[in-house]
């Protein structure tokens, strides 16, 4: 099966090479860390390690980095004399790791899953253990770890219903992959059942909870903008293509009832900032960009920065979390919940199923089916500030009730970290 996997990997690379080359030459994010992904280990990383065997944590992008942060922080406390390194795949994940995870001794890019690449990188870094956040199943990487006698664990593991169906089609192959993974720490009982169904052995699976609930979301010490007391604010965070147009149409309708309403849109991907600015202008509003804002915000503000979304959730009355009106799977509901804001999101929350269900059950948020229900939900909360504030308090309570996954995960991996 591995021979077939690697053959397909090479064929796909050859067939897609013109597209890949075009992307690398024209889109900056595809150039980010390219040589590292191809097997180069930066001298800065090797200097930090100085021959020691580090704990290696991998988190693919921004969401995984932030979810893994509580674990990284506690690992550093428990093993202060061990080097701790953090890898990512995306440029934004790499930037976030460097800015928001000071406990990491080095941050770098994860290698492509070619056998010769992962063999070189693993040999040069020589980790004592590798912890993979969520479910990044890289077959050659895990097999090479096993070959070199290095233990590995999936932490904060999850298998979405959609991924589960796809994995089942290749159960025989994933059975082989899971034989190379030492431990699988899953978010929920459902995730544990799914990963067992697709080939993991039951004695390697443990339910530890969701690390995202343990995120240390710092207080917002000061609001990023001055907002007049009489203004109402909706912050739409981590939006994707197809959502901004819906939000702008709803905003136009709501403005007839709430003339003082301000909409803040924070696209998930920085490369879409210009595109979203065009949508705002085409909707008949002046596009005010955060990076160029002088004076007060008027109608629609485009948050074209990275790392400020939490502060903009703090100044809003209602938070909408994107990636949920379109089939992306949603984004982190805990950031607005942590600043006691009522949260609205739509039905495509399969990447945050447990969190969304917990917030709904607590009465801290609303799931809407479509554009009309989103309009009605926003309208109701704008009309009833007391109810909106109470909902925000309930959203905040979810974090305290569900915390503890970090401790359970650390206890689970304690024996395999050992003294390697």
pTM attached to this predicted model: 0.74
Q: How far apart are the first and last CA of the chain?
A: 31
- Backbone phi, psi, residue 315, to 5°: -95, -5
Reply yes or no on whether 64 is catalytic: yes
Which one, of 133, 84, 131, 125, lies nearest residue 104 by Cα?
84
Superfamily of domain 233-401: Glycogen Phosphorylase B; (3.40.50.2000)
Domains 32-209+404-417 and 233-401 share a fold: yes
- Ordered by start, the domain boundaries in the chain are 32-209+404-417, 233-401
What is the C-alpha to C-alpha distance for residues 309 and 320, in angstroms, rounded to an integer? 12
Among the listed residues 64, 243, 244, 335, the single catalytic one is 64
> Which pLDDT score is estimated for 181?
97
Burial of 408 (0-12, 13-18, 19+ CB in 10 A): middle
Q: Quick one: fold of 32-209+404-417?
A: Rossmann fold (3.40.50)
> Which pLDDT score is estimated for 215?
76
> Which pLDDT score is estimated for 155?
96
pLDDT one digit per residue (tens) for the chain, 420 residues: 889 999 998 999 889 888 888 887 887 777 889 999 999 999 999 999 999 999 999 999 887 898 899 999 999 999 999 999 999 999 888 998 999 899 999 999 999 999 999 999 999 999 999 999 987 889 999 999 999 999 999 999 999 888 899 999 999 999 999 999 999 999 989 999 999 999 999 999 999 999 988 877 667 777 888 888 889 999 999 999 999 999 999 999 999 999 999 999 999 999 999 999 999 999 999 999 999 998 889 999 999 998 899 999 999 999 999 999 999 989 989 999 999 999 999 999 987 888 899 999 999 999 999 999 999 999 999 999 999 999 999 999 998 888 899 999 999 999 898 655
Q: Can you list the alpha helix ranges (DSSP code H) found in 152-290?
A: 161-168, 171-178, 189-197, 243-257, 273-282
Residues 6+ away with beta carbon under 8 Å from 93: 59, 60, 61, 62, 64, 65
> Which pLDDT score is estimated for 253?
97
What is the C-alpha to C-alpha distance for residues 375 and 396, in angstroms, rounded to an integer? 24
């Amino acid at each position: 099966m591995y021979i077939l996997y690697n053959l397909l990997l090479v064929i796909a690379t050859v067939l897609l090479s013109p597209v890949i080359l075009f992307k690398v030459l024209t889109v900056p994010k595809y150039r980010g860390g390219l040589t590292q992904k191809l097997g180069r280990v930066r001298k800065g990383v090797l200097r930090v390690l100085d021959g020691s065997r580090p704990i290696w944590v991998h988190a693919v992008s921004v969401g995984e980095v932030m979810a893994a942060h509580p674990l990284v922080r506690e690992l550093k406390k428990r093993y202060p004399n061990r080097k701790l390194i953090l890898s990512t795949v995306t440029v934004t994940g790499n930037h976030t790791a460097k800015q928001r995870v000071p406990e990491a001794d080095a941050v770098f890019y994860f290698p492509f899953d070619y056998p010769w690449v992962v063999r070189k990188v693993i040999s040069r870094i020589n980790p004592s253990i590798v912890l993979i956040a969520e479910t990044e199943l890289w077959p050659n990487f895990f097999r090479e770890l096993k070959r070199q006698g290095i233990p590995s664990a999936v932490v904060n593991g999850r298998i979405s219903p959609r991924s589960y169906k796809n994995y089942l089609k290749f159960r025989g192959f994933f059975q082989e992959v899971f034989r190379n993974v030492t431990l699988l720490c899953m978010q929920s009982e459902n995730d544990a059942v799914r990963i067992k169904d697709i080939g993991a052995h039951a004695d390697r699976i443990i339910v530890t909870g969701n690390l995202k609930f343990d995120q240390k979301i710092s207080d917002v010490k000061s609001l990023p903008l001055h907002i007049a007391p009489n203004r109402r604010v909706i912050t739409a965070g981590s939006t994707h293509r197809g959502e901004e147009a819906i939000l702008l149409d709803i905003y136009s309708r709501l403005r007839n009832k709430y003339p003082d309403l301000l909409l803040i849109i924070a696209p998930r991907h920085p490369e879409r900032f210009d595109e979203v600015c065009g949508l705002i202008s085409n909707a008949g509003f002046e596009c005010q960009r955060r990076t160029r804002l002088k004076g007060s915000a008027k109608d629609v503000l485009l948050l074209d920065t990275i790392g400020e979304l939490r502060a903009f959730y703090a100044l809003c009355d209602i938070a909408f979390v994107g990636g949920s009106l379109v089939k992306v799977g949603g984004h982190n509901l805990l950031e607005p919940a942590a600043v006691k804001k009522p949260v609205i999101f739509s039905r495509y929350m399969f990447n945050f199923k447990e969190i969304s269900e917990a917030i709904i059950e607590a009465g801290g948020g609303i799931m809407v089916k479509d554009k009309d229900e989103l309009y009605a939900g926003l309208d109701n909360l704008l009309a009833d500030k007391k109810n909106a504030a109470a909902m925000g308090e309930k959203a905040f309570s979810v974090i305290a009730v569900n915390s503890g996954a970090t401790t359970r995960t650390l206890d689970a991996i304690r024996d395999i970290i050992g003294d390697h």
